[in-house]
């Protein structure tokens, strides 16, 4: 039985709490009578497993001093949250109606918030990357910053989705983030929420007839945007391409695979292995961009960005320049529970074509080239960015 089925069964068990009759509970200690089984062994084992949960619910409902205030739906939601939290994976979470809608909205391209993608790193709630042109980026929040509090309330990596929900809200409202940055200490940032519109692809021609495409995240429209941007650059007779994945926190697996398919020759792009050992493989066709390529990455490049950059590295289809990536090699599935809520569950690990799982490790670029410390907190124009200059330098040797 895979993790999805187990979790669904557990949720069903909780929902059925009020449907289990007193007679069944009475019969549980004696599943046989007169040599005959009164209930099936599977049903007996299933119900026995949740016996304690049922007892606690009944004790609360019958003994709590203000029992008239008890909301049975909240009891169920709390039990589900506790069950999912006990898995110990910050990416496996139960999503209430607001959180589920927020997540679906984000993958469609816009939402109200401050524009931060967060993840767990070394047990801390860490900024994977601020979204380009967002309130967070404009305020100076950087990849690698650690979020300690939201509006004065302490928050941890175990409460990842709760933190995301607290940071989102109506346009024009304010939220205060308490941030720790290595070498800088703790600082409060007061941010005004805005509508975060995810235009995920930007492109232009650099000096030396070098094309430049920046992908800020992978949503439903990104592959089409990338294809149009590349075709436009081709019409301008580019001789090489810089693909900028810095501070790209990831997004949809299928989108990163679709872009990899445009870039790479025939072969395996990525494969996943789930809890049952089932292997799923995504492959590319022979058609590819067939030109010198440099990929820029940093500690804010995560998940789908690492799938794309890892495949390019393993195919030797381009040169990776920058710093080690974030290291998120887990795949999540979003399950609609059909009542407005959802479950996001880690279902597999992904592996680069060479068989490497980068979870917790990240990808080391071919050329390690960090920004100088004095430039890290600045918004640099493209023609003044040392890493882009390095990318052009490397490409010029290959043209």
The active-site residue out of 102, 247, 314, 385 is 314
Find where tokens 């606690």 sit: 56
- Whole-number Cα distances in Å, 67 to 26, 52, 62, 77, 256: 24, 20, 7, 17, 51
For residues 44 and 34, is the Cβ–Cβ distance under 8 A? no
φ/ψ region of 366 (left if φ > 0, alpha if ψ in -120 to 50, else beta) reads alpha
383 is catalytic: no
For residues 120 and 93, is the Cβ–Cβ distance under 8 A? no
Secondary structure (DSSP) of 84-119: HHTT--TT-EEE-HHHHHHHHHHHHTEEEE--EEEE
303 is catalytic: yes
Size of the chain in residues = 399
- Whole-number Cα distances in Å, 75 to 72, 100, 183: 5, 19, 44
The active-site residue out of 217, 303, 305, 309 is 303
Q: Give the Cα separation of 287 and 300 in Å (integer).
A: 30
- Whole-number Cα distances in Å, 62 to 19, 22, 79, 150: 17, 15, 18, 36
Find where tokens 């900028």 sit: 244
Nearest 5°: phi and psi at 118?
Answer: -120, 160
370 is catalytic: no
Look at residue 246 and give its three-state secondary structure. Answer: coil
The active-site residue out of 121, 142, 328, 344 is 328
Q: Give the Cα separation of 127 and 370 in Å (integer).
A: 18
Rounded to 10 deg, the angle between the 41-49 and 51-63 helix axes is 50
Q: Give the Cα separation of 150 and 33 in Å (integer).
A: 58
Best CA proximity match to 365, nearest among 329, 312, 320: 320
Catalytic machinery residues: 303, 314, 328
């Amino acid at each position: 039985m895979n993790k999805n089925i187990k979790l669904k069964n557990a949720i069903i068990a909780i929902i059925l709490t009020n449907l289990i009759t007193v007679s069944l509970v009475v019969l549980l200690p004696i599943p046989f009578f007169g040599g005959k089984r009164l209930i099936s062994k599977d049903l007996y084992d299933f119900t026995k497993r949740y016996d304690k949960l049922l007892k606690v619910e009944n004790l609360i409902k019958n003994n709590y001093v203000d029992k008239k205030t008890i909301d049975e739906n909240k009891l169920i939601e709390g039990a589900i949250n506790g069950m999912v939290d006990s898995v110990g994976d910050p990416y496996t979470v139960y999503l209430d109606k607001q959180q589920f809608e927020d997540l679906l909205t984000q993958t469609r391209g816009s939402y109200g918030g401050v524009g931060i993608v967060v993840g767990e790193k070394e047990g801390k709630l860490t900024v994977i990357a601020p979204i380009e042109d967002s309130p967070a980026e404009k305020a100076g929040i950087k990849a690698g910053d650690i979020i300690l509090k939201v509006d004065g309330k302490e928050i941890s990596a175990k409460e990842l989705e709760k933190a995301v929900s607290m940071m989102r809200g109506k346009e024009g409202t304010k939220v205060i983030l308490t941030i720790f940055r290595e070498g800088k200490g703790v600082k409060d940032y007061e941010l005004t929420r805005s509508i975060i519109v995810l235009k995920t692809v930007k492109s232009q021609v650099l000096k030396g007839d070098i094309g430049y495409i920046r992908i800020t995240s992978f949503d439903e429209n990104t592959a089409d945007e990338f294809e149009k941007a590349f075709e436009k650059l081709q019409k301008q007779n580019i001789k090489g391409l810089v693909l900028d994945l810095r501070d790209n926190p990831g997004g949809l697996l299928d989108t990163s695979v679709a872009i990899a398919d445009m870039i790479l020759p025939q072969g395996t792009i990525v494969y996943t292995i789930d809890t049952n050992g089932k292997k799923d493989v995504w492959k590319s066709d022979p058609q590819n961009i067939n030109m010198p390529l440099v990929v820029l990455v940093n500690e804010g490049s995560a998940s789908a960005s690492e799938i794309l950059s890892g495949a390019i590295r393993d195919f030797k289809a381009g040169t990776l320049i920058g710093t080690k990536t974030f290291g998120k090699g887990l795949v999540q599935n979003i399950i609609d529970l059909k009542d407005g809520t959802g479950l996001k569950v880690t279902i597999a690990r992904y592996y680069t074509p060479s068989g490497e799982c980068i979870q917790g490790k990240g990808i080391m670029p071919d050329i390690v080239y960090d920004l100088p410390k004095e430039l890290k907190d600045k918004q640099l124009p493209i023609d003044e960015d040392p890493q882009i200059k390095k990318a052009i330098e490397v490409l010029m040797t290959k043209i």
